[in-house]
Amino acid sequence: MKEVDIVVIGAGPVGLFTVFEAGLLGLNCVLIDNLDKPGGQCAELYPEKPIYDIPGVPFQTAQEHVDALIEQIKPFEYDLLLNQRVNEIKVINSDNDINTWQVTTSENKKFKTKNIFIAAGAGSFEARRPPNIDDPDQFLGSGVSYAVRSKDLYKDKDLIIFGGGDSALDWSVELSNVTKSISLVHRRDEFRGAPHTEKLMRELVAKGKLQLLTPYVINSIVGKGSVNGVTLKNFDTNEIVEFKADELLFLFGLNKKLGPILDWNIDLNGKKIDVNTSTYSTNLNGVFAVGDINHYEGKLDLILCGFHETTIAVQEAYRRINPGQRVPFGYTTSNSKLQAKLGVNS
């Protein structure tokens, strides 16, 4: 069983940045994520979605943000375990009120640690499938998508987007610039997204650059092996109409689940984990929650807030590993030891 300083559950932006802050203090990490790549929702659901609120970075796509974080942690020691989740945590020792934990993954990988950081974002998640359609996933990669992985996929294609929230509105506007034709289908002519984006969408409709189809729901996918079109049912009249399409983008949101976390006796507030904001620790000795997964008064689900939270939590992790020692502090702009760790002087 490998011993590590910090086990990080979740390899999204906050999990990745945990490796950086830990590395500055000489701590090593293992990152565990049930997705097949690092980056969390940023990489899995909206890699090309723009991010404007990272301090000092006026614009990045979500994937560029993830790539920059991965580049930033290259100098430091960490392991990355993908396609598996943490199934069990249990205390195997307690000394001077400091627990040591055994962490076991779904692939039966075991780690010994004094610090567990839950940076699981919204928890385990998967895209909601279209209702009343048998096995829509048979068309995955052949015309059916649940997230935009590359705008180039839709270039010069006939695209139909389904949904009524922010993602559906955002991508209807964004992809109207690259598609041959684009339609937005929703069961009513009311949307749950940002009013500004809805206004932009309706302006495109008025200009003939986007077709708005309401009140419709999907009835069937047309095609064998690949998508050729869809039939839609009018929500009010039950009339069936058929539309040609090369690509279908279903943006019905996510099914979010906390999964095994529910079995760990952690204090929850709804689907989030209660924390003490002095260290972002949970009610379990040695278990921290950082990023969108945690809850406290005034909490904001922003990446930059998660960066702050994990920076503070890593300080406490160092104290638990080195009781009685002062946590070393320095500025990366001027501290030669920190610059050496970052490879600045090499």
Q: Which is higher by pLDDT, 124 or 257?
A: 257
- How many Å separate Cα 194 from the centre of its chain? 20
* C-alpha span between 232 and 77 (Å, rounded): 52
pLDDT confidence of residue 8: 98
Least confident of 97-106, 188-197, 286-295: 188-197
**What 3 state SS string does 106-124 have?**
CCCCEEEECCEEECCCCCE
Q: Are residues 278 and 201 in the same domain?
A: no
Q: How many CB atoms lie within 10 A of CB 61?
A: 16
pLDDT confidence of residue 90: 97
- For the record, the structure tokens of 20 come out as 């950086």
Residue 204: pLDDT over 70: yes
Question: At which of 226, 252, 278 does a domain end?
Answer: 252
8 A C-beta contact, residue 272 and residue 309: no
Read off the pLDDT of each residue in 239-253 and give the average, rounded to a whole number. Answer: 95
Q: Are residues 234 and 305 in the same domain?
A: no
pLDDT in tens, 320-345: 999 999 999 888 888 888 888 888 76
CATH number at residue 99: 3.50.50.60
Read off the pLDDT of each residue in 142-155 and give the average, rounded to a whole number. Answer: 91
pLDDT confidence of residue 205: 98
Alpha carbons within 13 A on the beta-carbon side of 70: 16
| Total number of domains constituting the chain | 2
Q: Are residues 170 and 235 in the same domain?
A: yes
Least confident of 151-155, 212-216, 334-338: 334-338
Read off the pLDDT of each residue in 106-122 and give the average, rounded to a whole number. Answer: 94
Q: Are residues 208 and 70 in the same domain?
A: no
pLDDT in tens, 274-299: 999 999 999 999 999 999 999 999 99
pLDDT confidence of residue 125: 65
Q: For the stretch 91-105, what's the b/e string if a residue is b when 16 or more beta carbons lie within 10 angstroms of its beta carbon? A: eeeeeeeebbbbbbb
Backbone region of residue 233 per phi and psi (left: phi > 0; alpha: psi in -120 to 50; beta: other values): beta
Nearest in space to 204 (alpha carbons), one of 236, 235, 181, 231: 181
Q: Rounded mean pLDDT of the chain?
A: 93
Residue 150: pLDDT over 90: no
Q: Are residues 102 and 151 in the same domain?
A: no
Question: At which of 234, 252, 270 does a domain end?
Answer: 252
Q: Are residues 117 and 262 in the same domain?
A: yes
pLDDT confidence of residue 46: 80
pLDDT in tens, 1-53: 999 999 999 999 999 999 999 999 999 999 999 887 899 888 877 888 899 99
pLDDT in tens, 72-96: 999 998 999 987 889 999 999 999 9
Q: Are residues 275 and 164 in the same domain?
A: no
Nearest in space to 82 (alpha carbons), one of 1, 4, 17, 10: 10
Q: Are residues 164 and 231 in the same domain?
A: yes
Q: Are residues 243 and 281 in the same domain?
A: no
pLDDT confidence of residue 340: 85
Q: Helix, strand, or coil here: 296?
A: coil
Read off the pLDDT of each residue in 232-250 and give the average, rounded to a whole number. Answer: 96
Question: At which of 237, 252, 267 does a domain end?
Answer: 252
Q: Are residues 308 and 203 in the same domain?
A: no
Q: Are residues 138 and 247 in the same domain?
A: yes
Cα–Cα distances in Å, from 234 out to 10, 19, 181, 296?
Answer: 41, 51, 21, 44
Read off the pLDDT of each residue in 43-67 and give the average, rounded to a whole number. Answer: 91
Host domain of residue 240: 129-252
Where does 108-194 have alpha helices with state H?
166-175
Residue 346: pLDDT over 60: no
Q: Are residues 272 and 337 in the same domain?
A: yes
